[in-house]
Every structure is written in C-alpha cells, then in structure tokens.
Amino acid sequence: MSNPLQSIKARFGIVGASALLDAALETAVRVAPTDLTVLITGESGVGKEVFSKIIHALSARKHNDFIAVNCGAIPEGTINSELFGHEKGSFTGAVGDRKGYFESVNNGTIFLDEIAEMPMDTQAYLLRVLESGEFLRVGSSKVLRTDVRVIAATNVDLEERVRKGKFREDLYYRLSTVPIKVPALKDRREDISMLFRKFIHDFAEKYRMHPIRLDEQAQFVLENYRWPGNIRELKNVAEQLSVLSEDRDIAAADLQRQMPHVFARNLPVVADRNGHGQMGNHDFQEREIFYKVLLDMKNDINDLKALIFELVNRNNLSMPELSGLRRLQSTLGFPHGERNTEHTDFNMQDAGGHSPVDTSRVMPIIIEPSKSSNSGYDRNEVEDTPLAMDEIEKEAIRRALKKYNGRRKEAAEELKISERTLYRKIKQYNL
C-alpha cells in the first residue's frame, strides 16, 4: 500500500488492508481535486459518509462548508424546502424566508445520502441544479444560482429503481459520473480482526476497563459471520462484549451465549481454516433436515428394492440384462444363475405395430405368470428424477407439520430447528 493511502487511513480512522477497500480509496483520492459528481454505492453501514468527507477534505473546497443530508429522513412534503429554501407565505407555517442547503452551502460540498429515497419532483429540481447550477425557492419565481459539489450515496441498486420507474434515468447518469463502490465487510474478511481489535481498545479506553480478548475459535466465528450490518454491526458487537462480559477472555461458547445470531448460517456445511468440515454443538439446522430426509429416502429405496426382487424370485420372473440391476442383485443376494429366461422376449409393439415406450429406458416389469402370454399388459416407464435440496427441505417440513397437525413447536423439535427458523421456512415455501 502506498504512503498517501496510509496517511489518509490514519487521518480518517480507516482500518483495513483489503484490496477492494484500497481501490475505492484510490478512486476517491483521484476524483477529489475535481468538481465531478460522485455516486458512492455500498451496503448500509460500510462507511459511505466517510468517503464523502475524504473527497471534500482533499478538494479545493475543503475550507468551505460541508453538509450531509439524509434524503430518506426528510418528509416528502418538506424536502424541497429543506434543499432549495422557501419564500414567506409559500405554505402553511412559512412565516419567513428561508435559505435551503444548496444556497447556504454555496461553494462547498453537499452529501446526499439515501438518494434513492428522493421524491420524483425533487429529482427534477436536483437535475437542474447539477446541469446549470440554477434553482428556485419554494413559492418563488426568482432564479437563484449556486456552486455546490454534489456527492450522492445509496445502498440500493439505482439501475433497478430506474427500470421500475422510481428514479430518473437522466439523473442517475448525471450522478454517476464517477462511481465508487465501498466493499461490504463480508468481502473484506481479512480486515474484520483488525477492526474488532480497534473497537475493543476504543471501548476499553472509553469505559476504563481492560480490553477483552478472543480465542482463536471465537475469532474464526467472527471472521466467517456474514455481517449484514457491516462495520456498524461489528462495532455494536464489540461494545456489547466489552460491557457485558465479566471474563475478559472470550471463547466461542461465551460468544454464542451472548451473541447467538453471530452463529447463524445459511450453508449446510462450514469449513475450518484448513478447509476441513467441522462439527460442534452448534450444528447447522438445515443440514440436520437434509440428513434426516436423505436417510429416510435411502431406507425407503432399499425396502423397495428388496420388495421387487422378492416378487421376481417368488413368481419366477425374468430380469433385464442391465448392469445397474446386476449390481443390485449382487447387493441384495439375488443369484445371477437363478433367473428364469422363459419370458425374456417381450412383445414391445401395440396393435398398430408401434413401440409404445423407449425400450432402452424400460425398468423391470412385474407380471403374473398366468398372464405372461398376454401381449396387452400395461407398461410403465419409470425415470428417477433427482430432488433439489430445497424440495427435500420443503417435503420434510410438510411432513412434520402434517404429523403434528400444524403445531409449529412440535414440528420444529422434530426437525431439530428453532420455531423462528421454521416460521421463516413456512413463509419461504408457502406451506
């Protein structure tokens, strides 16, 4: 990492050595001296506002005002007045003239967070400001001018909003002159330990206590959690553990008692540092469902195989020459030499002389000896269709609910999952 980036990280309190993070910082540093509009994207809690402050601090406007505006927190009826100002008497409660943010921050920088929540009419006013620097106060016909650099941020897909007609396409392209994507915490796992150590030392100093320490397993759990709240969530976890933990040495079991959500997983298997699967007291719930269903299916298939070969043996029937069936015969102890070849040649044509089925895919047909000479017997084509894991899980949940007459508590205990997880799966599969 270059020295300029190191100094910027130290100046703004940025912790991390991820390549994605460094790439985003390099883009911010390069665009800062210009007046180009910047669109910062990223999940909630990744630190988008910090990037806006970096851009302002490294620009020629650094000695002028900087203001951050959360567009999602301003009511739709007042956002135009907040951004562009209003004239006295323009609406109920307007007892005097008021300057908006674009007027009061002239020659400075305005950071518009959650830009996707901006109403459509306000988007049109913003587009005019970006293109010409002109705007109107609410209730006024006098055109005013401003020289403000706009940095916008969003945690949603603006292109998708444009396709749905909820965001102006021309404004989107005007805002995204220079896009900067701030990586989520799950995409920079190598930084999680460094960030956590910084937070626990900050809180230890704040609350005048010894910093907590995580053992290797607890640290591994934190590094592999998906962190939907990103840095904000990690900081909250660090503060809770610092305040609530009596023991300063935190093991994975202690972490599970205080932060059970950190152990949540959507995958059926987890790997350790060496890439090997590991099991513990917190075996994943969905995996247990899969194993149970697969075991039941295996037992049912074995019972069906045994039944078929018992019927073939008792009725002195023939078996097709299929390699798979020969393996089954050997597995189930059915002798190869005791097959009756009397009925080997089946008539596979119907009355019209056409073959009703593909003979290459015909499975064993069980017929009674007394009817073996009848060429008009029913034929069934059997094809194994593998079930998707979602279908297996859905079927297991459906059976458990049917068994307990819809009582979720008993069904959850049967499936070895929490009632909350079962409720989520019921909604997911529309059961």
Which CATH number do you get for residue 421?
Answer: 1.10.10
Q: Is 227 exposed, middle or buried (0-12, 13-18, 19+ CB in 10 A)?
A: buried
Q: How far is CA 314 from the centre of its chain?
A: 56
Paired tokens of 339: 């097959």
Final residue of a domain: which of 237, 264, 291? 264
Final residue of a domain: which of 216, 244, 264? 264
Assess whether 202 and 215 both reside in one domain: yes
Strands annotated E in 42-95: 66-70
pLDDT for 45: 93
Half-sphere exposure of residue 307, counting CA atoms within 13 Å on the CB side? 7
Q: Is 3 exposed, middle or buried (0-12, 13-18, 19+ CB in 10 A)?
A: exposed
Q: CA–CA separation, 137 vs 91, rounded Å?
A: 12
Assess whether 178 and 200 both reside in one domain: no
Assess whether 165 and 110 both reside in one domain: yes
Q: What confidence tens digit (pLDDT) does each residue in 86-135 have?
A: 999 888 888 889 999 999 999 999 999 999 999 999 999 999 999 999 99
DSSP 248-272: SEE-HHHHHHH-GGGG--SSS--B-
Domain count of the chain?
3
Q: CA–CA separation, 145 vs 373, rounded Å?
A: 98
Assess whether 173 and 203 both reside in one domain: no
Assess whether 106 and 238 both reside in one domain: no
Residue 92: left (phi > 0), alpha (psi -120 to 50), or beta?
Answer: beta
Write down the mean pLDDT value for the chain. 80
Q: CA–CA separation, 429 vs 227, rounded Å?
A: 25
DSSP 336-380: GGG---TT-S-----TTS--SS-GGGPPP----GGGTT-TT----
Q: What confidence tens digit (pLDDT) does each residue in 359-415 have?
A: 444 444 444 444 444 444 444 444 444 456 677 788 888 888 888 888 888 888 888
Assess whether 83 and 197 both reside in one domain: no
Residue 339 near residue 318, CB atoms below 8 Å: yes
Residue 142 near residue 87, CB atoms below 8 Å: no
Per-residue pLDDT of the chain (431 residues; tens, 9 = 90+): 557 899 999 999 999 999 999 999 999 999 999 999 999 999 999 999 999 999 999 999 999 999 999 999 999 989 999 999 999 988 888 888 999 999 999 999 999 999 999 999 999 999 999 999 999 999 999 999 999 999 999 999 999 999 999 999 999 999 999 999 999 999 999 999 999 999 999 999 999 999 999 999 899 989 989 999 999 999 999 999 999 888 899 998 888 888 887 776 544 444 444 444 444 444 455 555 666 677 778 778 877 877 787 777 777 776 665 555 555 555 555 544 444 444 444 344 444 444 444 444 444 444 444 444 444 444 444 444 445 667 778 888 888 888 888 888 888 888 878 887 887 888 888 87
Residue 88 near residue 97, CB atoms below 8 Å: yes
Residue type, position 370, single letter: S
| 354 in any annotated domain | no
| 29 in any annotated domain | yes
| 49 in any annotated domain | yes
| 406 in any annotated domain | yes
Assess whether 173 and 253 both reside in one domain: no
Assess whether 205 and 257 both reside in one domain: yes
- The CATH number linked to 200 is 1.10.8.60
First to last CA, the chain: 53
Assess whether 193 and 154 both reside in one domain: no
| 269 in any annotated domain | no
Assess whether 97 and 227 both reside in one domain: no
Q: CA–CA separation, 267 vs 285, rounded Å?
A: 9
Assess whether 192 and 76 both reside in one domain: no
pLDDT for 288: 59
DSSP-derived secondary structure letter, 276: -
Final residue of a domain: which of 162, 183, 204? 183
Assess whether 249 and 393 both reside in one domain: no
pLDDT for 373: 41
- The CATH number linked to 10 is 3.40.50.300
Domain, as residue range, for 229: 187-264
| 147 in any annotated domain | yes
